[in-house]
């Protein structure tokens, strides 16, 4: 090896060593197969169970309008016919034979599938997951049967007045690329989905170099890595989908806007939303956001006292959703119509003063960091749930580094970091305000 090559190798080892050490602390081990598949083992020997999970970097953020909702439909079709299973009935029969609990989820920047079963069924489970991931058939008959199921979810969502508030706000918040944030998708697109479009999604995104295989529970990571190579080493690598089909950046909001949604409701719901930080561009702000959200959620915070304990609001919630492609910041609050004006005024006064030196105490800041750390440690106790957390962070943040150093970076958050976050993304920044209100209450509130 040349001197230059030796130095490069040392540099790589110095970069990977902290990840390896932190991973061991959490019982997390990872390797990457030659085809690009990341294999993540989460060891926890408390009970003789194992969870096999596949995470794919897919979701609404990959969807132009003509594909909006098809990542979710694909999730449903995953549990159907493939090269090893002739139809859904046989698929379900096999899940019963293996005694597994199974499901999948779709979100903006991640689709995942998971099976939990006895650890003596590990090999059968790996084979079962492989067939579903690599050789789905998307039979037209099964597609036609599944479309109404997905539309049923759509109908149930539409039956909630809050759904219409979220849609109204999000269409203004993400106006240029709304489909990239609309996980449930378009009714028309779902109803017109065919085998060709499903296969297009498979060929673009369901490739090993865009996926992670996670196995959690009563396992040995070295054995898992060998089995992953044995079962998944022949999965054919594909072109980087994000180079071929780049995800567009959401342009910043140009102005503040308002949407009023009329539904037969008994209270007024106020939603305020901003463009927040992207985890790859401003990771420091994401830690500050989590700490601030916790502080403001506590009953002893001035934020809650002045808005909820005062009787102005039934509740108020300030949150940030960590995402790579612009995570939203949201405030949700509910009040009676006669208190709307006062509640809104106090809420916006709160936003102006969050950066004041005495807005929260040093003790509240430290308590927030301590509690977030405890919550994180507690979440690791159940491997079948913890594996979903690990998979989410792998998908959204581009690997395991962000998650493995999450607690350490929370610990470093200062009042200055929180102020920088608020000043950059909230105070003075354009936002979308949504109001869910009954027709009668709208007349009272907005009569002027």
> Which of 445, 446, 435 has its CA nearest to residue 262?
435
Same-domain check for residues 238 and 262 = no
- Domain contains 16: no
Q: How many CB atoms lie within 10 A of CB 218?
A: 17
Question: pLDDT of 403-419, one tens digit each?
Answer: 999 999 999 999 999 99
Pick the last residue of a domain from 187, 211, 244: 244
> Where are any strands of DSSP class E within 195-314?
211-217, 257-262, 268-275
Same-domain check for residues 188 and 286 = no
Same-domain check for residues 176 and 43 = yes
Q: Cα-flanking dihedrals φ and ψ of residue 251, to 5°?
A: -65, 145
pLDDT at residue 12 above 60?
Answer: no
User: What is the DSSP annotation of 385-423?
Assistant: HHHHHHHHHHHHHTSSHHHHTHHHHHHT--HHHHHHHHH
pLDDT at residue 23 above 70?
Answer: no
Place 22 in a pLDDT band, splitting at 50, 70 and 90.
Answer: low
Enter the tokens of residue 157: 């969502």
Place 26 in a pLDDT band, splitting at 50, 70 and 90.
Answer: confident
When pLDDT is averaged across residues 351-380 and rounded to a whole number, the result is: 96
Provide the domain limits for residue 53: 23-244
- Domain contains 250: no
pLDDT at residue 206 above 90?
Answer: yes
Q: In this structure, what CATH number is given to the domain that contains residue 278?
A: 3.30.830.10
Enter the tokens of residue 352: 């102006």
Contact 278, 327 (CB under 8 A): yes
Enter the tokens of residue 376: 């994180």
Question: pLDDT of 174-186, one tens digit each?
Answer: 999 999 999 999 9
pLDDT at residue 142 above 90?
Answer: yes
User: What is the DSSP annotation of 3-45?
Assistant: HHHHHHHHHHHHHHHHHHHHHHHTTEEEEE-TTS-EEEEEE--
User: So what's the pLDDT on residue 13?
Assistant: 47
Same-domain check for residues 144 and 285 = no
pLDDT at residue 447 above 80?
Answer: no
Same-domain check for residues 107 and 32 = yes
- Domain contains 4: no
Question: How many domains is the chain built from?
Answer: 2
Question: pLDDT of 334-358, one tens digit each?
Answer: 999 999 999 999 999 999 999 999 9
Furthest C-alpha separation in the chain: 79
Same-domain check for residues 285 and 233 = no
Same-domain check for residues 216 and 271 = no
Same-domain check for residues 187 and 268 = no
Same-domain check for residues 96 and 189 = yes
Helices (H), 298-382: 302-304, 340-353, 362-379
């Amino acid at each position: 090896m040349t001197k230059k090559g030796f130095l490069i190798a040392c540099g790589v080892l110095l970069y990977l060593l902290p990840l390896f050490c932190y991973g061991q602390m959490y019982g997390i081990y990872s390797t990457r197969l030659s085809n690009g598949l990341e294999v993540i083992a989460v060891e926890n020997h408390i009970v003789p169970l194992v969870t096999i999970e596949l995470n794919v970097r897919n979701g609404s953020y990959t969807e132009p309008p003509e594909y909006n909702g098809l990542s979710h439909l694909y999730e449903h079709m995953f549990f159907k016919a493939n090269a090893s299973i002739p139809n859904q009935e046989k698929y379900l029969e096999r899940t019963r034979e293996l005694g597994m609990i199974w499901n999948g989820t779709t979100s903006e920047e991640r689709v995942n599938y998971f099976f939990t079963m006895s650890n003596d069924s590990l090999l059968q489970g790996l084979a079962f997951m492989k067939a579903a991931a690599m050789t789905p058939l998307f039979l037209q008959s099964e597609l036609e049967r599944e479309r109404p199921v997905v539309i049923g979810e759509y109908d149930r969502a539409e039956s909630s007045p809050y759904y219409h508030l979220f849609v109204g706000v999000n269409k203004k918040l993400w106006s240029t690329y709304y489909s990239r944030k609309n996980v449930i998708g378009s009714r028309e697109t779902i109803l017109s989905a065919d085998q060709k479009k499903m296969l297009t999604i498979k060929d673009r995104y369901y490739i090993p170099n865009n996926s992670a295989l996670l196995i959690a529970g009563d396992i040995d990571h070295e054995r898992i890595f060998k089995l992953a190579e044995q079962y998944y080493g022949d999965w054919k690598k594909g072109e980087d989908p994000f180079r071929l089909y780049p995800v567009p950046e959401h342009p910043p909001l140009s102005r503040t806007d308002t949407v009023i949604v009329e539904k037969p409701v008994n209270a007024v719901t106020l939603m305020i939303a901003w463009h927040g930080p992207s985890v790859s561009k401003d990771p420091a702000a994401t830690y500050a956001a989590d700490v601030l959200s916790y502080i403001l959620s506590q009953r002893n915070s001035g934020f809650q006292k002045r808005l909820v304990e005062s009787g102005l609001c039934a509740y108020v919630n300030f949150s940030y959703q960590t995402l790579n492609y612009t995570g939203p910041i949201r405030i949700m609050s509910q009040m009676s119509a006669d208190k709307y004006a006062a509640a809104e005024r106090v809420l916006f006064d709160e936003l102006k003063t969050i950066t004041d030196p005495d807005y929260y105490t040093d003790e509240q800041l430290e308590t927030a960091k301590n509690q977030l750390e405890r919550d994180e440690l507690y979440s690791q106790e159940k491997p079948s749930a913890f594996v979903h957390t690990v998979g989410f962070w792998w998908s959204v943040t581009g690997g395991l580094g962000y998650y493995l150093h999450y607690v350490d970076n929370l610990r470093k958050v200062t009042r200055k970091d929180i102020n920088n976050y608020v000043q950059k993304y909230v105070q003075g920044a354009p936002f979308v305000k949504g109001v869910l209100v009954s027709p009668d209450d709208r007349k009272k509130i907005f009569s002027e």
